Amino acid sequence: MNTFTNQRVLPAEAAAIFAAIRNPERLARWWGPAGFSNRFEIFEFVPGGRWVFDMIGPDGTVYPNESTFERIVADGEVVIRHSCAPLFTLSITLTPAPGGTLLRWEQRFDDPALAEALRPIIEPANEENLDRLTHELASTLHS
């Protein structure tokens, strides 16, 4: 088992969710588990574009990250290849649904043994990430 899937109906149009992904200032506010912040160095939101950033944990630990945007379909899909350890591909798909948009978050690790070892961290972290996105969307709808 090397794939983690989370999905949630968000009370927003796909275009609003996509805007929270493609805008680096907004993405930096919600990306990652609860308590983390982000410092983006490179953010090239185009197919083949690089995304280089540091995630900073609540304790100040810096986690360097590098990814490539493999596929981008406006208001529909973003596929991100995490190109430093741990190696994985994240697919985010947006589909219209009653009450908003169904967001499907599928994270596929290259190494099943590593995925299993990280399961206790990944499963709650991905839910926290979606919680933060939900809060980001709510804050822009009410501002």
CATH code for the domain of 22 = 3.30.530.20
Residue 44's pLDDT is what?
Answer: 98
Residue 52 parent element (H or E) = strand 50-56
Q: What per-residue confidence (pLDDT) applies to 142? A: 59
Average pLDDT for 43-60: 98
pLDDT for the residue numbered 70: 98
Q: What residue numbers bound the domain in which 42 lies?
A: 3-141
Share of the chain above pLDDT 90, in %: 96
Give the confidence band of 141 by pLDDT, cuts at 50, 70, 90: low
- Average pLDDT value for residue range 108-119: 97
Average pLDDT (101-113) is 98
Average pLDDT over residues 101-115: 98
**CB-based burial, 54-76: b 16+ in 10 Å, e otherwise:** ebbeeeeeeeebebbbeebeeee
- Which CA distances in Å does 79 have to 25, 88, 93, 108? 19, 11, 8, 11
pLDDT above 90: residue 143: no
Number of domains making up the chain: 1
Question: So what's the pLDDT on residue 140?
Answer: 81
Looking at residue 1, its pLDDT comes to: 86
Tokens coding 23: 């805008």
Q: Tokens 């430093």 correspond to what residue?
A: 84
At 82-102, the pLDDT tens digits run 999 999 999 999 999 999 999
- Rounded Cα distance, 52 and 65, in Å: 6
Mean pLDDT, all residues of the chain? 96
